[in-house]
């Protein structure tokens, strides 16, 4: 079978066409697509709508990407470029991993649409920003004493936790935004029903009637608790 037929379809594997000063740059297209996704959500993204926002025809976009899937690969990689990864600190690896995980959580919640496409955006993981993120995180774990294969597993475990938690948060905050209510307002309105519903269940009732903690603070505390337990487990695999 010819090599061209064997190639997996992706913006990162397709040879780039040579162009003479195109009217739109890839960076312009990605920036506008990201703004559209953040403003209107994934369901609003189309090549035609994006072209209209850029005051250009869809043909201009197809000079850079073959389809919407390739466009999403580019935008996902752009988002990953916003995640902070500290330099490998050796023994202070937990602080560095926590910094990266907190940054990833912030970025994923800032772009709530991304959670639904992470498993669908083709070969987005071949993008340069994803590559740099993974390389630096692997270096961080290696400097802490993890063998490279173990570092790879550790990185996957941390990111799986972050993505899973951030996906739930993003869905919750998106629903709140659509309702037009603030987070704390929603929690306070729900509290009486929760207290009543948990009366037959003493443990749940104790939690429901405990002192109120600001919702945003509670989400942050829950995230950090889970992350600490993940790092506790990984600590035993060093060396």
Task: Tell me what pLDDT residue 174 has.
Answer: 84
Task: Tell me what pLDDT residue 8 has.
Answer: 62
Task: Tell me what pLDDT residue 181 has.
Answer: 85
> Could you give the CA distance from residue 45 to residue 48 in angstroms, rounded to a whole number?
9
Task: Tell me what pLDDT residue 18 has.
Answer: 56
Tokens 């990185």 map to which residue?
155
* Domain ranges within the chain, ordered by starting residue: 3-80, 90-235
Instruction: Place domain 90-235 in its CATH homologous superfamily.
Output: Tetracycline Repressor, domain 2 (1.10.357.10)
Cβ density class 149-182: b for 16+ within 10 Å, e for less: ebbbebbeebbebbbebbbebbebbeebeeeeee
In 3D, which of 6, 108, 22 has the Cα closest to residue 65?
Answer: 22
Residues 130-148: pLDDT tens digits? 999 999 999 999 999 999 9
Tokens 């993505």 map to which residue?
163
Task: Tell me what pLDDT residue 108 has.
Answer: 92
Q: Which residues contact 238 (CB under 8 A, 6 or more apart)?
A: 144, 145, 146
User: Which regions in the chain score pLDDT beneath 50?
Assistant: 1, 3, 21
> Could you give the CA distance from residue 7 to residue 192 in angstroms, rounded to a whole number?
58
Task: Tell me what pLDDT residue 1 has.
Answer: 45
Between helix 68-80 and helix 26-40 the angle, nearest 10°, is 90
> Could you give the CA distance from residue 67 to residue 59 in angstroms, rounded to a whole number?
11
Is-contact 68 60, C-beta < 8 A?
Answer: no
- Report whether CATH 3.40.50.300 matches the domain 3-80: no
Burial of 50 (0-12, 13-18, 19+ CB in 10 A): buried
Task: Tell me what pLDDT residue 222 has.
Answer: 95
Is-contact 54 107, C-beta < 8 A?
Answer: no
Task: Tell me what pLDDT residue 154 has.
Answer: 96
């Amino acid at each position: 079978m010819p090599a061209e037929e064997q190639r997996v379809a992706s913006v990162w594997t397709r040879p780039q066409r040579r162009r003479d000063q195109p009217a739109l740059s890839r960076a312009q297209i990605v920036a506008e697509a990201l703004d559209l996704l953040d403003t209107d959500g994934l369901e609003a993204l189309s090549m035609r709508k994006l072209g209209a926002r850029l005051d250009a025809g869809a043909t201009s976009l197809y000079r850079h990407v073959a389809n919407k899937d390739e466009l999403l690969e580019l935008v996902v990689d752009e988002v990953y470029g916003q995640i902070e990864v500290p330099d490998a600190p050796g023994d202070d690896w937990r602080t560095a991993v926590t910094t990266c995980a907190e940054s990833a959580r912030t970025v994923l919640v800032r772009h709530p649409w991304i959670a639904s496409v992470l498993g669908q955006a083709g070969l987005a993981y071949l993008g340069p920003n994803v590559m740099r993120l993974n390389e630096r995180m692997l270096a961080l774990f290696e400097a802490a004493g993890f063998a490279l294969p173990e570092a790879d597993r550790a990185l996957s475990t941390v990111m799986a936790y972050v993505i899973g938690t951030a996906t739930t948060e993003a869905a919750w905050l998106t629903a709140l935004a659509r309702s037009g209510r603030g987070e704390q307002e929603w929690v306070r309105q729900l509290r009486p029903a929760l207290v009543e519903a948990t009366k037959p269940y003493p443990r749940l009732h104790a939690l429901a009637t405990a002192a109120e903690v600001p919702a945003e603070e509670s989400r942050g505390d829950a995230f950090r608790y889970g992350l600490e337990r993940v790092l506790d487990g990984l600590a035993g695999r060093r060396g």
